[in-house]
Amino acid sequence: MLSLYSKKSEKTARAQDEKVERRQGRRVNFYTRLPCLLSFFLLLTVLPAFSNVLITVDEALKLAFPASTVKRQTIYLSKEQIAQARKLAGVDIPSALVYPYVAMKDGEIMGIAYFDAHVVRTLPETIMMTVNLEDRIQRIEVLDFNEPRDYVPKAAWYQQFVGQRLDDDLALKRNIRSIAGATLTARHTTDAVRRMMALHHVIKRQLIDE
């Protein structure tokens, strides 16, 4: 009887030991795989940000100014210039720093590019605008757009800006039509264009005189 009880006890103890070993094994496997799981999670987090880059700065500049030499400038706006730009644009000027890109060919200015980064709904986009010395818009290019792609307007919509000047008609429901289902994109793009055009008006003489 005692022998049978001992065998049962040994069998029960062995079963408990095996259960503990299985639990420990699962823990070891989990912690061993944890770095891989974290790396995979980070990869999924980071990749979408890269995938939303539609075109790089260099690519956009080459499209706008082929066979030209493009030089980036740094302009520090005075308080008076910020106030003037804000009045012209009708929207906020968030920074006193402006980085215009001046395109030169055969000793002549072919145009000037400006970049504007802003939030559409909750995520950012960056656009480039180029303008000629007659203060008319030459080109609009979307560099990155982090909202769903359904909210990116068609190329024909951006074409509306070409040839426009900074005036009261450079606005939604005037010379720029709105977009059903992408009204925020249309509004923020138009605001960004007005902001860049206003900055151009304020610093244009500094760029030409250099």
The range of the structural domain enclosing residue 178 comes to: 53-209
Given a cut of 80, whether residue 135 has pLDDT beyond it is yes
DSSP 153: P
For residues 43 and 91, membership in a common domain is answered with: no
Residues 108, 89: one domain?
yes
Residues 105 and 203 in one domain: yes
The answer on 68 and 6 residing in a single domain is no
pTM (predicted TM-score) = 0.75
Q: 133 CB contacts (<8 Å, ≥6 apart)?
A: 109, 111, 204, 208
What pLDDT was estimated at residue 51? Answer: 46
Residue-wise pLDDT for 24-37, tens only, equals 555 444 444 444 44
Burial 102-113 (b: 16+ CB within 10 A, else e): bbeeeeeebbbb
Are residues 93 and 176 part of one domain? yes
- Based on the fold, state whether residues 116 and 178 are members of the same structural domain: yes
> What is the pLDDT confidence band of residue 149, given thresholds at 50, 70 and 90?
confident
92 and 114 part of one domain: yes
Are 138 and 170 in the same domain? yes
- Whether residue 122 is found in the same domain as residue 35: no
Q: Say what the pLDDT of residue 17 is.
A: 53
Within this chain, do residues 169 and 68 fall inside the same structural domain, yes or no?
A: yes
DSSP string, 27-81: HHHHHHHHHHHHHHHHHHHHHHHHHTB-S-HHHHHHHHSTT-EEEE--EE--HHH
